[in-house]
Structure 1
Amino acid sequence: MSADISMSSDDDQPLAPRPGPSKPNGRLVTNGKTNGKVDSDSAMSEDDDIPLSQSTRTKSEPATPQISSRKRKQAPVYSSSSDEDTPLASTPLKGAKSKSAAVPLPGALQATTVPAAAVNGNGRAKKAAKKEESDYEQETPQPKKRATKTQRQPPKKRTKKGEVELESEDDEPIAVKSGVKKRNVKKEEVAESSEDEKPLKKAKKPPAKRAKKEEVDDESSNSKPKKGKAKKEENGDAPVKKGRKKKEEEEEEVFRWWENQDDADGSIKWNTLEHNGVYFPPAYEPLPKNVKMKYDGKSVDLPPESEEVAGFYGAMIETEHAKDAVFNKNFFTDFLDVLKQHPPRDGTKIKEFARCDFRPMFDHFEAEKEKKKALTTAQKKELKTERDKLEGPFTHCSLDGRKEKVGNFRVEPPGLFRGRGEHPKKGALKIRVRPEDVTINIGEGVPIPKPNVPGKWKKVIHDQTVTWLATWTENVNGNHKYVFLAAGSSIKGQSDMMKFEKARELKKHVDVIRKDYTADLKTKVMKDRQRATAMYFIDRLALRAGNEKGEDEADTVGCCSLRCEHVTLEPPNYLIFDFLGKDSIRYYNKVAVEDQVFKNIKLFKENKNDDDDLFDRVDTAPLNRHLASYMKGLTAKVFRTYNASITFQEQLDQGTPEKGSVVDKLKAYNHANRMVAILCNHQRAVPKTHEQSMGKMREKLRGLKYDRMKLRHALFTIDAKFKKNKKYNEDESDLDDEGIVEHEELTKVKEIEKAEKKFQKDNEKLAADGKSPQPESVLKERKDEIEAEFKKLKKERGTKKHEMKRERPTEKIEEAIEKIDDKIRTFKFQMEDREAGKEVALGTSKINYLDPRITAAWCKKHDVPIEKLFSKTLLTKFPWAMEVDEHWKF
């Protein structure tokens, strides 16, 4: 455990050893090290989304890679195998419509958004079902079994007694089953869709199966429930939560696209498409007249166009970017260009960056941030309401008559390009995107939307073979930007499913491919030998294929674009890889390879300079054409998805304990996830708030141990015989007198702050209702109570006695101690996971490379709530994956 975690004690249970083998499926999982940093602004923020992890990562190499700064010789640009940034279905297939790669999914008759009970199989929900027969059906319906009349009755809603315990707000089930018998429908299809899935307007019903939500009787919906009690529906049995009243009064529909896969690979992606375009950021508002940048110590009167650019840099002067020479150089170059078009109104000549002072702007921006933080809850809510009102028309579109959520509907505001890693253009000015720069794609014959800012669209097209709604070209790198539907949309879901099905299909061909490239490792044809060696690396090390880079791009490489300097030979059979991969993340790995591969690399490096290509006869396009000869659509990227998912499946199968707590099973799951992350070199920069976060966790752990101590002392006060019980007689070894005093003082401060906030909030509510606020005496009385309470605790120090606020039987206190012991064990595990995963991006593989059906099936089989592993966003993104049964395998 890291030294940062200082709260482990002698009385705590040791953590279980790491499960799972070290060499899954023949892929090289080595003891090598990877190290790299991702630009803090581009790195995923995963403090809240990283699942619990088990294995502790090896100590990182030095952060600064020793990589040659020499540029590659100019070479022809070949097409890349990476399609991560390619718009979905941008190229229509030739010929007739091809059959979908997707296979029928078991249990496809359930709702799009599946309740936690259905996902978790026989977990907590099943225990609840034993208590109350009216709970949800736990088993996924089998398509081959015809339901009887009794079985087809709609399930009754869960009462409070039978509800699944939720860990947090994020763990709330996405939907709750409800249903009534539908006329002219052979099978019951019950679903509750979200607000996002309501149609924008009445349209012709698309030729896909739909599940219609239950209609709530008008009289029942209008009647007011009694205070403190849930209202019951007319049919009977389940209480309706107040927060869901509105949704249950409305008729909603869910588009179950995975049940209509006939046209999944066709060239026509939609029939009708209507949307409101994209949301442009508001125009620039000039700073107050007293806020000016300075040059040679004198204020400069800049016009708005130049002031805006100066402000971009002014807001960043306390960041690491402002300390970067390349960033500063690129910014100032572009700033001077803007000044030529919009010079200072007072005639100041700005020529040198060192003489510029942006501090007044920075101070103004910081003051504005503090003002926003100081706003009351009501004021913040009002601002959010206004913002949502402006953005509301752009959040959804109508696709084939269905209401679908749009993903990135906001146009990125102007600013300074930050890039990732050592990007040569970081600091360059990203100019404001205007309607004249944007092409929109919309259905023919529908109203053309008007931009929310002055201007006209660059172009309006009606292309049914692509799935983007709008596109433009950004000025820094010339990249095409697209607006797509959200991750949970039908089109994106189809793309995800087909991607993983393509990777599953590779299982049928991978043995033949490996046999062939192993044989070609010794061929006399140099081109084929290089290709076989590259395929070996792509398969065994999960390297990206790589492609040529231009002079103005970051010096990142993949397998096919490796240079001799990137691979070092170490006899007898070790290769040391050291290069910058995608997003300028350093890949460093020492790995043992087959003897023939070692000989080949030695041969390929002969008579070459360090900056020469290692594989000078291999490019990504011919390599992918060779792979496609084995399987239609096979590329190097499919290998990466396949190896990630198959490794994950194998690690779960071999490392998950059949009998054990949820924490033990989560350890196995996250060990498997970490193995994949290391295999794929998924890294991130250490979050800036990591140490602060760990400090809060240490304080929380100390609080748990303090609570345990007080419960023990309460037992001693009630009956002295508990002092002789080994389970309770030993003190918490790392909770000393100084720690107790510090914890009580901090807790008192927090309690007083909490009371002050509650007092302020209550008065705000009273003022909103037109009532008189509470007098200050109410707050003073509460503070006096807190002071008295902590004076009592102070007297108890060292006495091993504690009087509880209300009397409780010893059995209840003992149960409470057992619960705290479980919490301490789980929380220590969370701390270890947070520390071990600070440089590993576990979420990247989970979102992009691991088939979500593996997780869904594993959770059902091992009774683990999927909310502990998938956030609401992922549950919405992968509804099709939630329907597999517990026996499904990748």
Structure 2
Amino acid sequence: MSDSEDDRPLVKAKSSATISKATDAAMDREVPTHNGVAPGVSMAMGPVTEMDIDEPITNGHAAGSKRKASLGKGKSYKDDSGSDDDDDVPLTKRRKTADSNSDSEDDKPLVKKVVKPIKATAHQIGEDSDDEVPLGVKLQETKAKIEKAAEKEAVKLRKEDKVAESKKKSKKKSSDDEDDDVPLKKKAKPAAKTNGTTKVKKEDSDDDDVPLVRKAPAAKKGKAEAATPKKKGKKDAESPGNEDAEPEEEEYRWWEDTAKGDGTKKWSTLEHNGVIFPPEYEPLPANVSLFYDGKPVKMHAVPEEIAHAFGAMLNSTHNVENPTFQKNFMEDFREALKQNGGAKDKKSGEKVDIKHFDKLDFQHIFNHVDAERQAKKALSAAEKKQKKAEKDAIEAPFLYCTWDGRKQKVGNFRVEPPGLFRGRGEHPKTGKWKKRVSPEQITINIGKEAMVPAPPVGHKWKEIKNDNEGTWLVMWQENVNGNYKYVMLAANSDVKGQSDFKKFEKARELKKHIDKIRKDYHRELKSDVMAERQRATAVYLIDQFALRAGNEKGDDEADTVGCCSLKFEHITLRKPDTVIFDFLGKDSIRFYSEVKVDPQVFKNLKIFKRDPKQDGDDIFDRLTTSALNKHLSNYMPGLTAKVFRTYNASFTMATLLKEMKKAPNAAEQMKDYNDANRKVAILCNHKRTVGAGHATQMEKMDTKIDGMRYQQWRLKQMMLDLDDKLKKKRGAAFFELPEGMTQDWIKEHQASLIEAEKVKITKKFEKENEKLEAEDQKAMKPKELESRLEVVKELESKFKKENKTGKVEAEGKGATVERFETQIEKLEQRIAVARVQSEDRENNKEVALSTSKINYIDPRLTVVFCKKFGVPIEKPFSKTMREKFDWAIKSVDEDWEF
């Protein structure tokens, strides 16, 4: 135990139950009203460099400040399922760690390089930078406008619901009265059900009786058939000439099945084939060794596998040079040696006591692994194809399961291989050994009538369950963090789609209540009861700055933090109204953000930090996550803190899309979409550090644009070659070298064009030869390649002549001035598109667009954007996202509203 822990009081300081008027008045005198930027906007995010106040503790947490455990170690998979789902997965950006040569690891911060805080720019939100209005004010104006719109929308929706409910009651009463006059035998039979939905005659249907969140968009001409199940096959099985074809399974449009998924039972029948285990470890060859103090050592396969894993990672310096990674590796490596006979000198056979990390040499292991990697890359196309076919054949039985009689794709049916845990951010357990998972640790979830998959020979499963309230197929517990790992259905499966659908529908439902919630928490910010004031302040921070609620952690877990679990040292207050957050968030990713807040919130946080509180004490000491969520559920069933993140992102995007205008082309339309996405990310605090490869990517894009400008210049010179009078007609400026382009640059660019052509021809030749060999045909001789490369020599000669004479001869058959002008115009269009894309990428460098788009913005809004502006869905959604959000693509038209 450290000295700081010994000096800490056993009982943590706690806020008083009530707040006196004298305390409120004293704080009012201390905290003036804000100046400049209005509250509710994150001004900067990133590691802090210089501050005129006390700097927050490194890494956002102090020694001995871990929270008490709220769950026992014997928690089941049901207990564990209450944690945040993959909707909150952060970016996997890892920061480089401190140098390992320092004398003391304890005094070293894990972050090696400190950079300036990220600040949003005008271009990043699609605004002009020369505007006199400060960016913070502009952002706040946008946010205030959206919140005002949300308030009006909530009032309107509640009014519509009230009218609909009144109509429903009136109609029911009228129906009951009429039914009393009808003879019993004449009364209508219950409507027939098909595929989980009820067939209703059109004239009996009344859209007013349908809740707003379930109303279907009005059908348009040519789109009426979209609401009916479709065949997946290209041709109808019953079409002429195709009588014998087997009809394919009908597409299940579950989003039209309103009765599905209301209960806790998730399936009735479930069949699957279990999991695939990773291959067993293959010991190193006799000529490859781990070296200790200059001597090759041999050991049991168990510790050798751990050493092999470290040696294979030598090129991953941000891991292997991390002192925490090294320390944890050594602990587990030495323990494995201790349990398996230790290590011996390969030559003398004497026992070797491995104690010091800096005496270990993994280079021979890395060289061996790297040689294997290169050999794999060097395989011919035919060999790669064969290996893939073999792998696919092994995996085929595990790809799909049968869920309630329907074939569903399984997400990840492979058991995690053993390896060194990396973690995200600054995880304290990075470098720990993830042990090999055995069948005896595996729990299978399957239908009662289904055949249980057979375990590997000589093994047995830990347990067989028939849990139809769970959506998992297989489960095991890993040893590093004690987390439960699950095999689930794929992202594009019905079950996952329904989960996403319900999440976004819940956010849509919040629209009806958001004004009441905001009105209530603003009122309670001044409550005399401490618990109410803390709760109101927490809801304010969650709603305005997208903070996660946070859960208590056990002593053996990473000390990650959310709003309700913020400690004294995680918040720094800077007068008059700036709050600086600095803590380890989800997955140990450092969260740093400077925000302007409401003066009352600033005053409250000052009260929550009053003496005798100190580092390690809770800010919200009279609030828990469960109590907060219970309070929120009073507004609407199922409302929790994390719904605000989805709601704020989706409602903001919906508002911005309504204001969007038609652009000249798809590239500029996508830029407008990304500008809106960026505003969502900035206003909802979805930011990131600049990627390591960003500068290189931008340089490549600039080179591509310059290359097209050079092509334009050459075409203009060819026009002069055909008609030298054009210089006088069009003006000399039209034919001059583009700005910033020199003769030296031209020669360098020409050399790159020559090399690129050479590589292209050579690769094509090699690929054709591989194909011939795969078909048992005679390969082409090297002379054929030499013949093809004559084109490269001709190109080189042509460039030399152009540079010498200063003239470019017209190329191609039927060369005309008009033809070259057409080519120049096409290049101009391509340059314009490339510049838009370049600007877009530059603006994206500090904003996490994908976080918002994948997890928080309702995908149906993106579908509406594409249909409204004629943009291909492939532009905003990758193939994986199109599969994941297939339900969204098929369920709405351009008139749908969030």
Whole-Å separation in 1 of the counterparts to 2:235 and 2:258: 23
Aligned partners of 1:503, 1:775: CA distance in 2, in Å? 65
User: Which one of the candidate residues 248, 267, 270 is aligned to 2:264?
Assistant: 267
Q: Which amino acid aligns with 2:332?
A: D
More helix per residue: 2
Residue 680 of structure 1, CA deviation: 4.0
The answer to whether residue 788 in structure 2 is matched with residue 788 in structure 1 is no
Q: Aligned to 1:720, what secondary structure does the other structure show?
A: coil
- 1:362-441 paired onto structure 2 within 5 Å: 362-441=366-445
1:785-811 C-alpha deviation (Å, 9 max, x unpaired): 221122112212362423213334433
**Distance in 2 (alpha carbons) for counterparts of 1:500 and 1:650:** 16
Matched, 1:603 2:600: no
Q: Tell whether 2:635 aligns with 1:635.
A: no
Instruction: State how 1:310-321 maps to structure 2 within 5 Å.
Output: 310-318=307-315, 319-321=317-319
Q: Which residue of 2 aligns with 1:717?
A: 721
Task: State the partner residue of 1:16.
Answer: none
* Secondary structure class of the residue paired with 2:371: helix
Specify the alignment match of 2:45 in structure 1. 33
Q: CA deviation at 1:711?
A: 2.0
Aligned with 2:621 (options 616, 625, 629): 616
Q: 1:838 aligns with which of 841, 845, 848?
A: 845
Q: CA deviation at 1:532?
A: 0.6
Q: Is the 8 A contact 2:61 2:584 kept in 1?
A: no
Residues 548 and 324 of structure 1: CA distance in aligned 2, closer, same or farther (over 3 Å): same
CA RMSD of aligned residues (A): 3.2
Matched residue SS, 2:668: helix
Q: Does 1:648 align with 2:653?
A: yes
- Change in Cα spacing, 1:486 to 1:554, as seen in structure 2 (3 Å) is same
CA contact (8 A) 1:711 1:817 kept: yes
**What CA distance in whole angstroms lies between the structure 1 residues aligned with 2:267 and 2:721?**
73
1:278 equivalent in structure 2: 275
Q: Deviations over 1:1-36 (max 9, x none)?
A: xxxxxxxxxxxxxxxxxxxxxxxxx98234333459
CA distance in 2, matches of 1:63, 1:713: 62
Secondary structure of the residue aligned to 2:535 is: helix
Quote the offset at 1:635 in angstroms: 0.3
With over 3 angstroms needed to count, the CA separation of the structure-2 counterparts of 1:146 and 1:801, relative to structure 1, is closer
How many Å separate the matches in 2 of 1:445 and 1:350? Answer: 54
The answer to whether the 8 A contact 1:65-1:586 is kept is: no
Match of 2:169 in 1: none
Q: Which amino acid aligns with 1:67?
A: G
- The answer on whether the counterparts of 2:439 and 2:459 sit within 8 Å (CA) in structure 1 is yes
* 1:253-304 alpha-carbon deviations (Å, 9 max, x no partner): 4222112230212122112111110111111112211011011211112222
Partner of residue 809, structure 2? 802
1:704 maps onto 2:708 in alignment: yes
Q: After TM superposition, give the deviation of residue 370 of structure 1 in Å.
A: 1.5
d(CA) in 1 for partners of 2:265, 2:644: 28
Equivalent of residue 540 in structure 1, options 538, 544, 561: 544
Aligned AA for 2:557? E
- Report the CA distance between 1:76 and its aligned residue: 5.0
Contact kept? 1:585, 1:683, Cα under 8 Å: no
Query: What letter matches 1:214 in structure 2?
Result: D
Deviates more, 1:308-317 or 1:702-711: 702-711
Maintained 8 Å contact 2:524/2:532: yes
Extract unaligned runs of 5+ from structure 2: 1-37, 49-54, 72-78, 89-160, 165-214
Return closer, same or farther for 1:87/1:321 CA change in 2, 3 Å cut-off: closer
Say if 1:73 and 1:873 are closer, same or farther in 2 by CA, change over 3 A: closer
Query: What is the rounded CA distance, in whole Å, between the counterparts of 1:662 and 1:691 in structure 2?
Result: 25
Structure 2 CA distance for partners of 1:454 and 1:405, relative to 1, 3 Å: farther
With over 3 angstroms needed to count, the CA separation of the structure-2 counterparts of 1:264 and 1:800, relative to structure 1, is farther
Alignment match, 2:827: 820
Are residues 290 and 144 of structure 1, via their aligned partners in 2, closer, same or farther at CA, if it must alter by over 3 Å? same
Name the counterpart of 1:204: none
Say if 1:781 and 1:659 are closer, same or farther in 2 by CA, change over 3 A.
closer
Which one-letter code corresponds to 2:877 in the other structure?
Answer: F
Q: Which residue of 2 aligns with 1:206?
A: none
1:473 to 2:477 alignment = yes
- Asked if the contact 1:404–1:485 (Cα under 8 Å) also holds between the matched residues in 2, the reply is yes
2:124 is aligned to: none
Alignment-mate amino acid for residue 442 of structure 1: I
In structure 1, the partner of 2:236 is 214
Give the Cα–Cα distance (whole angstroms) in 2 for the partners of residues 759 and 787 of structure 1.
17
Alpha-carbon contact 1:542-1:639 (below 8 Å) kept: yes
* Larger deviation, residues 337-346 vs 874-883: 337-346
1:311 shift after superposition: 0.4
Please state how far the C-alpha of 1:864 moved relative to its aligned partner.
Answer: 1.7
* Residues 845/437 of structure 1: CA separation in 2 closer, same or farther (3 Å cut): same
Question: What code does the residue aligned with 2:392 have?
Answer: D
Report the equivalent of 2:507.
503
- What is aligned with 2:302? 305
Aligned-partner residue type, residue 85 of structure 1:
D
Identity %: 49
One of 541, 557, 561 as aligned partner of 1:557: 561
Q: Structure 2 counterpart of 1:754, which letter? A: K
**1:69 and 2:62 equivalent?**
yes
Structure 2 residue identity aligned to 1:315: A
**1:300 is paired with a residue of what secondary structure?**
strand
User: Does the C-alpha gap of structure 1 residues 700 and 625 become closer, same or farther in structure 2, counting only changes over 3 Å?
Assistant: same
Count how many residue pairs are aligned between Structure 1 and Structure 2.
Answer: 713
Residue 857 of structure 1 pairs with residue 852 of structure 2: no
Q: Does 1:523 align with 2:527?
A: yes
Q: 1:667 aligns with which of 654, 662, 671?
A: 671
| Residue deviations 1:412-462 (CA, integer Å, cap 9, x gap) | 110001111221111100000111111011111221112457522111111
How far has the Cα of 1:383 moved from its partner? 1.6
Specify the alignment match of 1:114 in structure 2.
none
Q: Does 1:774 align with 2:780?
A: yes
**Letter paired with 1:349:** D
Kept in 2: contact 1:543–1:680 (CA 8 A):
no
Q: Does the C-alpha gap of structure 1 residues 152 and 623 become closer, same or farther in structure 2, counting only changes over 3 Å?
A: closer
Residues 375 and 688 from structure 1, CA distance in 2 versus in 1: closer, same or farther, beyond 3 angstroms?
farther
Matched letter for residue 731 of structure 1: L
Structure 2 matches for 1:233-272, cutoff 5 A?
Answer: 251-272=248-269
Map 1:65-214 to 2 at 5 A: 67-72=60-65, 74-75=67-68, 77=70, 83-85=83-85, 189-192=229-232, 214=236
Q: Does the aligned pair in 2 maintain the 1:407–1:485 contact within 8 Å?
A: yes
Answer with 535-544 or 745-754: which moved more. 745-754
Distance 1:464 1:400 in 2: 11
Equivalents in 1 of 2:842, 2:86: separation in Å? 35
**Deviation for aligned residue 1:683:** 4.2
Structure 1: distance between partners of 2:635 and 2:305 = 55
CA distance, structure 1, for counterparts of residue 279 and residue 639 of structure 2: 45
Higher relative contact order (CA 8 A, sep 6+): 1
Change (3 A) 1:188 1:629: closer
Change in CA separation of 1:679 and 1:553 when aligned onto 2, cut-off 3 Å:
farther
- String of CA shifts for 1:581-627, please: whole Å, max 9, x gaps: 22233333332222222221121111121332111111111000000
**Residue identity in the other structure for 1:587:** F
Q: 1:152 to 1:523 in 2, by over 3 A?
A: closer
Scaled by the length of structure 1, the TM-score of the pair is: 0.75
SS of alignment partner, residue 475 of structure 2: strand
CA distance in 2, matches of 1:609, 1:777: 80
Q: State the 1:489 CA deviation.
A: 0.3
Measure, in 2, the Cα distance between the counterparts of 1:63 and 1:522. Answer: 27
TM-score when scaled to structure 2?
0.74
Q: What is the DSSP-based 3-state SS (H/G/I as helix, E as strand, rest coil) of the residue aligned with 1:375?
A: coil
Aligned to 2:336: 338
Partner SS for 1:254: coil
3-state secondary structure, aligned to 2:444: strand
